[in-house]
Amino acid sequence: MNILVTGAGGFLGTHLSEGLLSKGHKVWNFSRTKHPQLEAMGVETICGDLRDETSVAKAFRGMDVVFHVASRVGIWGKYKDFYQTNVAGTESVIKACRINGITKLIYTSTPSVVFDWGDLCGADEAAPYSRRFHGHYAKTKAMAEQLILQANDDKLSTVALRPHLIFGPDDPHLVPRLLNAARQGRLKIVGTGKNLVDVTYIQNAVDAHLLAFEKLSPESALAGQAYFIGQERPVVLWDFINEILSRHNLPRITKKVPEGIAFGVGLFCESWYKLFRINGEPPMTRFVSLQFSRSHYFSHQKANDDFGYKPSISVEQALDLTVGK
């Protein structure tokens, strides 16, 4: 099949492209810039902007399937920027699929779309969308996910996958950020340090996307549905972080800050950065304080039932592959 991956130059996109190529598909990337690593793999890049409906429609010509992986991520920034990429960009993708007669659209979402103030312990897909987002990323991803699911019909089959905290050997986000914060002495346990969270090894995230793609059709159980994706079990977040630090010969984090204080500091930092229009990312935000102190893990039974997702690489194996023994 001819398959286009938006944002194939990213962490998940690159590994997903490798998986699709290994199955004999022809893969294209749609992004604003070219990526040498994709060209070396045999993935051609079509340069364009998700916000430009014309360039998206043109890029999708001749494609059979689209994986919409690209999005604006981050804990800070202007709402307009998140909206234009994540929501307006998704609208462009859906329109381009319809114009070009594409039959399958697989969307990479996030569990953050249902994250509110409290703990989420083994929640399933019946969990409602959050009513009070603490970040533009989660809010706009929730809006985009709903657009994707509502677009499902007998001509265009859609599905949304929600992998949580993807990590792996060449992870450019999670592990490097933790290591950098620890080296600068900015990392402290928020709350009790006993909160459980889902994580997802990169190959397991790729497998979920491939399985969903293969099973997706107008008659399938997947059509118009969202699915949580993660490991075989949640991890104790701060034990997991400390294990990563130890394997990089860094001291374990033991100092704690009460979650209420961290939340207040996050609110203060956000207000300060807005008031004085400071560039860069605040050292703490409300969203980060909640992510670090709350439990947020999910049931993956629906993904197992509907398209056979089961992580092939365990948490322990994933840590060994990512940071060594």
Question: Whole domain around residue 206: which residue ranges?
Answer: 2-164+199-230+298-312
* Closest to 266 in 3D by CA, of 287, 286, 294, 290: 286
Is residue 242 one of the residues assigned to a domain?
no
CATH assignment of the domain containing 41: 3.40.50.720
- Please give the Cα distance from 77 to 75 (Å, whole number): 7
The low-confidence residues of the chain, meaning pLDDT below 70, are: 325
Choose the catalytic residue: 83, 137, 297, 309. Answer: 137
Is residue 323 domain-resident? Answer: no
Instruction: Give the residue among 313, 38, 309 at the shortest CA–CA distance from 168.
Output: 313
Amino acid 122: pLDDT: 97
CA distance 139 to 116: 11
pLDDT at 117: 81
The number of domains in the chain is 1
Q: Tell me if residue 297 is catalytic.
A: no
How far is residue 84's CA from residue 257's CA, in Å, rounded to a whole number? 36
What pLDDT was estimated at residue 173? Answer: 87
d(CA 21, CA 67): 14
Q: Residue 134 has what pLDDT?
A: 83
222 domain-assigned: yes
Residue 212 counted as domain residue: yes
Tell me the residue type at 60. Answer: F
Q: Confirm whether 88 is domain-assigned.
A: yes
Residue 258 resides in a domain: no
Can you give the pTM of this predicted structure? 0.96
pLDDT for position 324? 79
45 domain residue, yes or no: yes
